[in-house]
Structure 1
């Protein structure tokens, strides 16, 4: 079996007010070509297909077009999609009744029986070129509040779900490799703070790789945007996002993972780099410049016009200042003139009092740079002269995760 693992598409995302539809279109066309060129038998998408629980119509149309084209181009392809913390479960599953369920499986949330998660219902058989079942996916979506207990029991409960799914797969499909999906933060994973919302699972933000029992051939993870592998008893990888989801991710190397199985042992895998559809520029490359030097550097940019305005590079300008400069963004925009870039962000860094610029404090951040958990901790220290207790910090993090998820307001949704 040749399985392609990808995740964290975030269809419908905007970056500092700029629509990213053209970038998603480029990625999905490339993905379709890759499915053909590498003779892929199955595609696994490990969560955060959409950027919000109620994505714009254009984002949903983009997904449906991709699924339709993928099935037409590769008649034997199996597709497995699970929901992430950004996805609304019922919205993600919305097209399921109109799709070929023998070829496309969508799990917006953990299936339930008698009021509790039912791991056996997550199992999806995958077929090879001859149409024979040759592997199984335990399609486990992001566990939402209510799926797992809190106060330390959540990790054990999720580990039990993975163990039950593996046992059920061995009983129903003896001798076949079993692949698990997961959308969560595993300890040791490198986090992108600007674009990944913290998730709380059973009262914990990061869970041990021991969550996944030995016996899985591969674990396909989503949530962290940097493509990376983790130490575990089996291959355990984040596919990462297909392109930068924030300016902080400009240095990432984005990829999908080609997973190959042969028998029940650990799968082999290799990374397939994803071409970046749009450049991410920073002035300067590192550190910060004085205002006049920054304006001169911006004015000196020599960039060829792209084939489409939607593919203009994103630009971040970082300026070192001694005092606030209220009209700085306007001056940067004027310095750019007709240069074909999109000015995503102008960051002002104060010099601090001695030391390197990195030691200096930032000026008040923009709203999208504020960490609510940090504000909560600072307010607690201000009022009570102490850091918030662990239990209170966990409770706030769970509340924050619920607020980020938001209500899944699809019509007709039932508990």
Structure 2
């Protein structure tokens, strides 16, 4: 019989001798360090682990997480820092082309997750064996991220609605979460409560925002800006990395090749170069690279809830006015379409002398048609392609 969730859980953990403890608890909270990794999976939730009071994927190990926090970065290190599903792989791919040139490619056994590893997944010892310069990935909040004033840090963020939807698919696809049939509404609740692996989206963004000002070794990117101007993003990253990377893009042919290699269609090819295919239910790690895909998933109530949460959590920060267009319920196309349909309906009603009851029924049917058009629109044109990807 599994242990009950009581206020004595923290004390109980010190008495357990196993390397890791499996608990089917829904509200487990740890406020102190333990020597154990707690794996738990409430009914209907992704499988997760708790290490030192923080939520991690279930395969992460205590020593790896702790050693990553205290590792000593080298002056030549480049860190790609994000909350999950905010362009991490995309930026790693761009940086790999800029840093490693011809040595970088889709070589079997050299997946990006091994050549540019997540430090909290592999630990400091693994990272110390990598050749220099090291391109390192992390989902750490700023206070956990190892610092060196000479290292370079690229931080990327994304609007929370699209981040949420992409992270939902990520949890369904990765076998480690044991959640292939996961429910979106349950995942939505975990997201807004900050009870997912790698922690709270809003806390993570707030931890990095103050570093944006007067920090010469930090490049701050938005996923949506990268979508709008890929060429400009590559040039920006190259100049930030400096030296050989900056010189590399002076060659027009090389720059154009990088742009092509960093587009959706190219990144969808040979997807085992990102992660081993056997780690996924669906070998396609890359899903959709677009803005406003959330409109296909969130209800109006859920959308409004995130809007309010974003307003509260980002109040007084530089981010409080970000992503207005990406997060609004209706975009300009929808508003124009709605206005056009309303005008046509009013004209038709005036011409036919329709009674109020008929008018109400007609409006209802029109709304259904509009919802259908909107859904179709967001399933196709809002993304870069029907088979586009989430980097």
Shorter-normalised TM range? under 0.3
In the superposition, the TM-score normalised over structure 2's length comes to: 0.25
Greater share of residues in strand: 1
Greater share of residues in helix: 2
Report 1 or 2 for greater relative contact order, CA contacts < 8 Å, sequence distance ≥ 6.
2
In the superposition, the TM-score normalised over structure 1's length comes to: 0.24
